[in-house]
Structure 1
Amino acid sequence: MASENEIAIVGIGCNFPGGEGIDSFWKVLENGRNCTTEIPPERFNIREWYDPGDDKPGKIRTTRAALLDELNAFDNKLFGISNEEAERMDPQQKLLMECTYRALEDAGVTHENISGTKTGVFVGLMNRDYESITSRAFVEINHYDATGAAMSTAAHRISYSFNLIGPSIAIDTACSSFLSALDLGYKAIKQGDCESAICGGVNCIIEPWKFVSLSKANILSSDGISKPFSKHAGGYGRGEGCGVLLLKPLVKVGCLY
């Protein structure tokens, strides 16, 4: 019999290197697939930035990362967002919106079911690549850039688009950002702050500056692969993607909102 204290994951939406959706992610894990690739020129020209040594200023010690098959493809009309506004949105916001939609779909929850409910949104993110790029393009800045680059808007867009009235919080605790978001969502349900919680994490790699910093700190893997607990470990490999969970009290699983 379900306890009132138990929280269930009732929906999952994700987009990770190796393919979109939970089935693709499972196949990657099942097959032990290495999803690191050469960083393509549409991200940035890695040949201009790469140097295998660690002494040259402004250089990166790797040419590889785990990247999504397709970045910044977004069905903005699905969320009532104009083309002009979508063009000024951080790709991380777009991924969170899409993965939230898929998590709700996976849970069998419609927009009508969840609209107006006390559902909280808790998202973890730490990467500001998009904001860094757009802040340098002064002549192109318009009124959509303020929300398009804001970390807080990553959560608020979800709440607004699905008409959710629970807490809406973006969290940056570095590499633990998603786990922090999940912890806050879990506690918010237990405390009665919300009746369910959308918890997500996202990261997109679109600029080289953080690669440079990590290279100079000697904490970036030269082959782009993390090897935890191995004597061959030589730093961590960077990756991107997005995952969203829908949490709900176990006693209410199967009930519409």
Structure 2
Amino acid sequence: MTDRMTEPIAVIGLDAKYPCDGDTPEKFYEFLLTGRSARRPVPPERYNADAFWHPDNHRDGVIGGKQGHFIQGNVRAFDAPFFSITPAEAASMDPQQRMLLECVYTALESSGITMDAVAGSQTGVYVGAFIWDYRDVLIKDVDAPMMYTGSGTIPSTLAGRVNWFYGFRGPAMSIDTACSSSMVALHQAIISLKAGDSDMVWSISKKYSSH
């Protein structure tokens, strides 16, 4: 075996967004230690839970619960110009794409590595995701701008957005294997490092529903 195949892998940067107040890795760790629950009533800005709830969740057009697990903050509060994206394009971007760009930026900060230092590097991006309901929302909205719907919602753009903005030159893969997407993405990222396809990788899990 080559030295590269047996060389240990170091995690040098990290960011995460979890429901309720677990919006950083440190807060999420504390959240787990205290054994709290992230379940809470549906925020009124998401949808009217009373209007859709029914005790018989087998009926069409109803929801059998009034609670869920929700990330805090407004996903519309996205600094599009910072990421060289126009407001019109940002409106058609899946919130998963927006959060992905932001999380990579924060993870870079936590690593102590600058954007200039990684631009042009052989860095790979492996994203595991399988929820695409924002695309369905846009398609049903007759007033939604359609020019950027494709690039804003297709699965492959998740990894491509990151590679393009940060100037990475390694592989960019968006992986959908349903519930195992995150683990498969991590596995492929490790293979990329071991094989020498990438000098550094981002292994990212995204599971966010817009409803």
TM value normalised by structure 1: 0.76
User: Residue 88 of structure 1 aligns to which amino acid in structure 2?
Assistant: S
Whole-angstrom CA distance in 2 between matches of 1:111 and 1:187:
24
Determine the structure 2 residue equivalent to 1:24. Answer: 27
User: Residue 11 of structure 2 aligns to which amino acid in structure 1?
Assistant: I
Aligned-pair CA distance for 1:45: 2.0
For 1:1-257, what aligned pairs fall within 5 Å after superposition?
Answer: 4-17=6-19, 18-72=21-75, 73-207=77-211
Q: State the Cα deviation string for residues 85-120 of structure 1 (Å, max 9, x = none).
A: 111111010111111111111111111110000100
Whole-angstrom CA distance in 1 between matches of 2:86 and 2:52:
35
User: Residue 19 of structure 1 aligns to which amino acid in structure 2?
Assistant: G
Whole-angstrom CA distance in 2 between matches of 1:201 and 1:42:
25
SS at match of 1:26: helix
User: Residue 65 of structure 1 aligns to which amino acid in structure 2?
Assistant: G
Determine the structure 2 residue equivalent to 1:224. Answer: none
Aligned-pair CA distance for 1:147: 0.6
SS at match of 1:65: strand
Whole-angstrom CA distance in 2 between matches of 1:198 and 1:165:
12
Whole-angstrom CA distance in 1 between matches of 2:158 and 2:83:
14
Whole-angstrom CA distance in 2 between matches of 1:36 and 1:153:
30
SS at match of 1:199: strand
Determine the structure 2 residue equivalent to 1:226. Answer: none
Aligned-pair CA distance for 1:44: 2.0
Aligned-pair CA distance for 1:3: 8.7
The 1:200/1:183 distance shift into structure 2, 3 A limit, reads: same
The 1:9/1:52 distance shift into structure 2, 3 A limit, reads: same
Aligned-pair CA distance for 1:59: 2.0
Whole-angstrom CA distance in 2 between matches of 1:203 and 1:3:
31
Q: Contact 1:44 / 1:206 at 8 angstroms: preserved in 2?
A: no
User: Residue 43 of structure 1 aligns to which amino acid in structure 2?
Assistant: R
Q: Contact 2:88 / 2:145 at 8 angstroms: preserved in 1?
A: no
Whole-angstrom CA distance in 2 between matches of 1:36 and 1:15:
15
Greater RCO, CA 8 A, separation 6+: 1
User: Residue 12 of structure 2 aligns to which amino acid in structure 1?
Assistant: V
- Between 1:157-166 and 1:75-84, the stretch displaced more is 75-84
Aligned-pair CA distance for 1:56: 2.3
Stretches of structure 2 that go unaligned for 5 or more consecutive residues are: none
Runs of 4+ aligned structure 1 residues displaced above 3 Å come to none
- Tell me which protein shows more strand as a share of its residues: 1
SS at match of 1:101: helix
Q: State the Cα deviation string for residues 130-186 of structure 1 (Å, max 9, x = none).
A: 000001123433311111111111110000000001000101111121111111101
RMSD (CA atoms): 1.7
